[in-house]
Amino acid sequence: MSFWEIMLIAAGLSMDAFAVSVTLGLFAVKKQGIFCYLAPGLYFGFFQAVMPLIGYFAGTYFAGRIQHLDHWIAFVLLGFIGGKMIKESFSKDDKKTSETTLHFKNMILLSIATSIDALTMGVTFAFFEVNIVAAVIIIGVTTFFVSAAGVKIGSIFGTALKSKAEFFGGFVLITLGLKILIEHLFF
């Protein structure tokens, strides 16, 4: 995978964290100052970087056994993740996020929840020539900045951007899945 493909994946994966960060910005900024801009970025960035690494090693273990299906697996996983994100972009359920604060336990749970997709992406990385160290650094750093910006944007603009970010992230992942499938089937 090229640098730009990994950047697109990083942007797509970070959209869940962005959406949660926007919501955190609505409630936490007024109470906790500058810490609230950096904390979600640190939590989400760390988990978004670690989860693909775990997925990569799990996928590497199984890659030899299912390599002839790798493009279909990537297509299905990216399509599933992207479809889920698009579906969630139309959901009006903000209750659980609106009650969340920046406490350690809450941030760990949110970080795990927003990085499950990254775990799945790591499995996909195992089937392709990917520099996993560079990929997890790009994903982690991208998520850090996107999340920190999300908190700031949330404190200014509110939830209007949340659904658009999830929709865009889902669209990017589905498009990448289609690209991988088309490249393997026709080129």
Domain ranges of the chain: 3-186
Q: Please give the chain's pLDDT, 187 residues, in tens.
A: 889 999 999 998 898 788 778 777 766 555 556 777 788 999 999 999 999 999 999 888 876 676 677 678 778 877 887 787 788 778 765 544 444 467 788 788 888 888 888 888 898 898 888 999 999 999 999 999 999 998 888 877 765 666 677 777 678 778 877 887 888 788 7
CA separation for the pair 159, 153 (Å, rounded): 9
Q: Answer for the pair 115, 51: CB distance below 8 angstroms, yes or no.
A: yes
Q: Answer for the pair 22, 153: CB distance below 8 angstroms, yes or no.
A: yes
Sign of CA dihedral 151, 163, 92, 50: negative
- What does CATH list as the number for 3-186? 1.20.1250
Which amino acid belongs to residue 74? A
Q: What is the pTM of this model?
A: 0.71
Which amino acid belongs to residue 4? W
